[in-house]
Structures are given as C-alpha cells and as structure tokens.
Amino acid sequence: MEKTRPKQKTTRVKRTRKRARKRTAKIRVGVIGVGRGQSFARGATKAVGMELVALCDVWEERLQQVGQQYGVATYTDYDEFLEHDMDAVVLANYFHEHAPFAIKALEAGKHVMSETASNTTLAEGVALCRKVEETGKIYMLAENYPYTAFNQEMRRLYRTGEIGEVTYAEGEYNHPMDAEARLRISPGRQHWRSWLPSTYYCTHALAPLVYITDTMPKMVNGLSIACREVDELVVRLGDPGSVILCRMDNGAVFRIFGLQLPGHSNWYRVHGSRGAMEISRGPGYYGSGQIRVWHEEWDVEGDQPRERTYVPDWPEHGDLARQAGHGGGDFWTTFDFANAIRSGQQPFLDVYRGVAMSSVGILAWKSALKDGAPFEVPDFSVEASRKAYADDHWSPWPKDAGPGQPPPSILGTPKPTRKGLANARRVWKEIGYKGK
C-alpha cells in the first residue's frame, strides 16, 4: 500500500493541473458572417478568454478585407471552415439558416453560439435539441437583450422576491427603419427580411422576460398587423407588426409586441403578486435609462419605499459592457458562452430555451393565420413532448414554397408597389447588388 500512495497523489495532481490548464487556456473561436459577425469577432478577446482564429462568409471580397484586419484564416466553404483547429463556432449568418449550420458544427465537435433564432421550423428545433444531447457540446442562443443593465437589474430584483411571483409581463421590440436603410440590409426580392412573418423575430421581446422570471412559454396566441402603408417604398411581403400572448408555465400571461411599426420601442414590464417593475419610458433606445419599482400601500414592508426610480448598472464588468453593442449584450453573450465552455455547464440561454422561444414565433404565426387560435408549445427538453414535431417542416421562406406552406402575410403574398420596386432597384444598384 505504501508504494501506491505517491502514484495516486501524482495522478491526482496531474488531473488538477490538467483541469487548471483547461480553465485558463484560450478558447479558439470561428465566426460565420463578416457583417453582424464582426461584433463577435471583436468580442473574442483575452478579457473573455477567447481567441478569434477563423472567419467564414460567401461574400469573398469583404471576407478577405475583414480577415486581413484580424489576421485570421478565411473560408468561403463552411465544411472547410469546420475543419479548422478551433473549439467553438459563432453563427451570425442569415436568420433562417442557423439550425442546419449549428447541427453541422456540433457534429464536427464544436461548441455553438447562434444568434437571433435557434430554428425557423419546428422540425429544426427538434433536430437541434437531439444533436446537442447526442454530442454533449455547449449550445447558447446569443440573445443579447436580456443582458442590458436594466434587464439584469430586474432579474436581480425578481430573485430577491420583492415583487413576488410574476403574474403578467410585457416585452416590446419595435424597431422601425426608413425605407432606404431597410433596403440596404435586405438586397434582393428573395431576401429573408422581406419574407419574415411578423411574429418570427420575437426573442428580443420575449427573452428578457424569460431571463428575469425563469418561466417558460406553454401556449401562444398571435395576431398580425398588416399595415401596407408603411411598406410603400420597400419590397417587404411580411406584415410589419404583431402581438403575441404567451401563457407561461406558472400561469402568468406575457404580451409580446413588435416588429417594425412606426414608434420605436424597446421596453419591458413585470407585474408580480406583490408589486411591479419596468424600464421607465422615455425618448431614446432605452427610454429614460431608469428602472421604476412600485408597490401598493398594503404590500410595503417596513421602511421600504412605495415607489422608487433609479439608474441601474451591471453587477460587474460594466467597463467592458459599456464598450459593446446592444446595450452591453454583445459583451455578455460572449462572456457567458466562454464561461459555459470552461465549466462544461450549459448556459441559461441553452438549446431548450432557445428553441422554445424561437418556436413561439413559428406557433404564433400559425395562430395569426387562424386569427388568434391557441397553439401549444411543446417541452423541447422531453422527447415524448417534442417528437410529434420532428417532421413539421412548415416554412414561410420562398425556397420552401409549395402546397401546405404558409404565406408571409395574413393578406397572402402581397405584391410590392411600383414605387417600392423602383426605390429598391435604385438602392441595390448603389450598394453593388446585381441580383433580382
């Protein structure tokens, strides 16, 4: 027995050192997309323990420029990109393409962070959940709005129990753009932004509420707002706005509003059983920059004020968050992704929450086409609940057009106006787009 002790101790020390090296080693990351993806490229720094090693995009001219700027390898072929020596992939490609790209990356042994929507069909959502379970790799939805100083503060307050359990909440992400700006970011009549149903881009409004309250959607009703007047000078076929009602797993109701109707709004409110809180409304992207918390007089305890309003800050790393886009969210998503990889623990915005929230948009569109009929949200963490949707390829995108597929608007498939087409051709010519 005496002879074996030193060997056991040495092995234990080696394992400890190996774990320490794993915690301190840089995470090598590759980014898909040299447009929006540059924010993630800039964020892969020593501060979060990441190193950018590769970029991928089919826009070859811009890819080479950005690749030289960062001094990293570049690829136009995604399969070749996945062969690069790296640990993780960040997906900032087109909205409706994330799930297939994520599944390929997971199969290649990479951790994945995917922006905006985890899936745009229910079948994709099922396949993605299964692949994360099969590979054991980290998956994170890069939803940045939960990470603003306001929403992080409301999460902290909610967890103290000060306002009780959530009963009702509202989330708004309504981001109108002028016609020329919209055309510049969506060149071509087949671009996904032109065909996007009004309910699909719902995670910016829903995710902060899920993050604050740690509840999950169980049932959805959706209504679409088809105001063609605001689309007179563009070629968008989808409706510009919608309202979604979500019944949550604790019985609460969430109201979700967006998408591009006049009247910019990025706002959140939570009502609990003992009080309420919200971002104070006001001009600008984040209103007045304050949190308002209030109670009824019979719910005030001790010397607690009945109402207070204050400017919040991040609990830590505020200096880094203030330098990042989307109210600091572009820093925090990368930070949490890196920590999840190092710890081996899935992040809060894991595949199940990502797929569930993305699927709210899909199911709400099914509801909107039936004038608000309710649709159940499956529990994507349970195979028995999700398997019924494994072959649900219901899709609004033009590449999937055919019998049984949905239109992009409650009006069907509207035709762009002459003014809209003429304006689009002018703008697309200016930016060098040569397609239809």
CATH number for the domain running over 4-145:
3.40.50.720
Strands 307-310 and 375-376 turn out to be unpaired
Residue 315 has phi, psi (to 5 degrees) of -65, -25
Domain(s) labelled CATH 3.40.50.720 in the chain stretch across 4-145
pLDDT digit string, tens, across residues 227-274 = 999 999 999 999 999 999 999 999 999 999 999 999 989 999 999 999
Band the pLDDT of 286: cuts 50, 70, 90.
low
Question: Do 390 and 126 form a contact (C-beta atoms < 8 A)?
Answer: yes
Q: State residue 327's pLDDT score.
A: 80
b/e for 46-76, b at 16 or more Cβ within 10 A?
eebbbbbbbbbbeeeeebeebbeebebbbbe
pLDDT digit string, tens, across residues 191-225 = 999 999 999 999 999 999 999 999 999 999 999 99
Q: Which letter does DSSP use for residue 34 in this model?
A: S
Question: Do 56 and 32 form a contact (C-beta atoms < 8 A)?
Answer: yes
CATH number for the domain running over 149-326+359-400:
3.30.360.10
* CA gap 68, 70 in Å, rounded: 5
Task: Give the SS3 label for residue 73.
Answer: strand
Distance linking the first and last C-alpha atoms of the chain: 79
pLDDT digit string, tens, across residues 374-416 = 999 999 999 999 999 999 999 999 999 999 999 999 999 999 9
The total number of residues shown for the chain amounts to 436
pTM metric for this prediction: 0.91
Residue 48 has phi, psi (to 5 degrees) of -110, 5
- Alpha helix ranges (H) inside 272-417: 318-321, 329-343, 351-368, 383-386
Fill in the amino acid letter for 155: R
Question: Do 334 and 172 form a contact (C-beta atoms < 8 A)?
Answer: no
Mean local confidence (pLDDT), 138-161: 95
- 143 Cβ contact list (under 8 Å, min separation 6): 115, 116, 203, 204, 207, 329, 333, 349, 354, 357
Q: State residue 288's pLDDT score.
A: 65
87: nearest Cα among 104, 61, 67, 108:
108
Domain(s) labelled CATH 3.30.360.10 in the chain stretch across 149-326+359-400
Q: State residue 24's pLDDT score.
A: 58
